[in-house]
Structure formats: structure tokens, C-alpha cells
Amino acid sequence: MTDLIRVEDHGAWRKLVLNRPEKLNAVNETMLTELIEALDDADGCRALLLTGEGRGFCSGQELGPAMIPGADGPPDLAAHASAYHHRVVRRIRALPLPVVCAVNGVAAGAGASFALACDIVLAARSAVFMLAFVRIGLVPDSGASFFLPRLVGEARARALAMLGEPVTAERAEAWGMIWRAVDDAALMAEAEALTAHLATQPTVALAKMKRLFSAGAANTLDAQLDLEAALQGEAGRTADYAEGVRAFIEKRAAVFGGNA
């Protein structure tokens, strides 16, 4: 392990920090492998916070000599994306706990995709999102072509992908691309407080919400209603549900254990 991903434990929640500030946290194979391991290791937590060190959140794939044709021909980007970037996105979406993203600075290329894969995204007012893929002759990957049209609509998604223009945090909030733009100085405290709050919530229900929203992207209304009923049935058998209702009746704050 190097320290390209810094893991900070805060009791029930954990902070993962992309830690290559001199390259605006551009990701390479080592860093992505560490990120995947850190995500795999987070199953026991009740919430995660993903952010970047320094003035950038993540400037996407590291662009270096390995990314241009060499003696063996062009790099196999399909295999590369599948083995690394896309595993990160799949893991974030599949984790049975909420993942908050604090976008502390520029989020470009796969860096923007990683942010959009998270459940709740806060961004510093000075941060920008950039589908930089087009600038180097690539297509949006790491889920950007899936997340973006669903978040901002196809007209904006197509223009952002084809133009690669930066979107400010405030515009991203106005367009529904992220949850909230926050003053730079307040970003980390707000993101940490939000993640800590989520870690006290009914974790099993939050995990089932993730399943619902993922499935909803492809389901018919009927199929989604069936899934809601099934997952509500499961949620209704958790100790947290019993505690939530009991707390309401007793007029006190619920104390959720996060258990099934």
C-alpha cells in the first residue's frame, strides 16, 4: 500500500481522501487499486465520505506516456476502464451504505464521473466539473454518459460531453447535478457533519434506497412498485424500523443501530 488513498476512521463513518495533490489527484492503476480496496473494506462502516487532497478533487485518468500508442500499439482502454475506473463506480453504487462526495476542486474526466456516482454530492463554490474526455478524443466513461443525462437532462448532457466546458458548482446545483454548492471554507465541515449524520441513520433502509434508485433507472412503474413493496417488506422487519416507530410514539429521538 502507498498513501495515494488516505483512509481516516471516524467511528461509524470513514473518509477516503484521494491523495496525489500535485497532479490534482489524477488516478493511475496503483491509486485505483487502492481505492477499490478501500471501498471493498468499507462494508462495515455506516457511511463514507470521498474527497480529494489539495486544490483538485480528481483530474481523471493520469495522462502520461502509457496512455499513448507505444511499440505494442495503442493502449487497450476498454480493458483498462473495465478493470479499474468502472470497478470503482460499480463498487460505489453497490456499497450498502451512503457515499457522500465532497468535491473540493476541479473534477475532470473520470474524476467527474466518480463524483456523480456518489449518493450525495457537495461541492466547493470554486470547484468545477468538466467532461474533459472530448479534449483528448475520448468518450465519457466511468458512468458519465449514464449519470449525466439522468441528472441534468439530455440536452445539457450532450453539450457538456461534446464541448468539455467547465460547469461551476453553483450551476451544477442549479441544474440538479449535485446536492449543494458550499462556501469553500465550509465544505469539509459540512460534508463531515452530513456523513456523520448519515452514519446514525437506518443504514439498511439507506442501502435499500440505493437499490431502488439504481433499479428505477431501468424499471417500468409496475416493476418499480413491486421492488418498493419487496424492499419495504424487508425494511419493515428491521430493528431500526421498530425503533423508529417506537421513538415516534414515545416522542423521543430514534436511536438507529443500523442493523438488519
Site for ligand T3D in 114-133 (CB under 6 A): 130, 132-133
- Using rule CB under 6 A, residue 230 touches ligand T3D: no
Q: Residues 27 to 86: which contact ligand T3D by CB under 6 A?
A: 59-63, 77, 80-81, 85
| In the complex, least distance from residue 124 CB atom to ligand T3D, rounded to whole angstroms | 14
- The region of 92-100, 102-110, 145-153, 207-215 touching ligand T3D under the rule CB under 6 A is 102-110
Instruction: Tell whether the torsion through CA atoms of 53, 57, 61 and 62 is positive or negative.
Output: negative
CB of 121 to ligand T3D, least distance (A): 17
> Smallest distance from the beta carbon of 139 to ligand T3D, in angstroms?
9
Options 108-116, 174-182, 207-215, 237-245: segment touching ligand T3D (CB under 6 A): 108-116
Q: What is the rounded CA–CA span in Å between residue 216 and residue 221? A: 8
Q: Is 204 in the site for ligand T3D (CB under 6 A)?
A: no
The strands making up 128-130's β-sheet, listed across from edge to edge, are 56-58, 106-108, 128-130, 167-168
Instruction: Please select the residue that binds ligand T3D; options are 135, 197, 237, 246, rule is CB under 6 A.
Output: 135
- Cβ proximity to ligand T3D: between 137 and 233 the closer is 137
Q: How many residues bind ligand T3D (CB under 6 A)?
A: 23
Pick from 68, 94, 136, 242: which binds ligand T3D (CB under 6 A)?
A: 136
Q: Strand pairing partners for 74?
A: none
Per CB under 6 A, residues contacting ligand T3D are 23-24, 26, 59-63, 77, 80-81, 85, 106, 108-110, 130, 132-133, 135-136, 138, 141
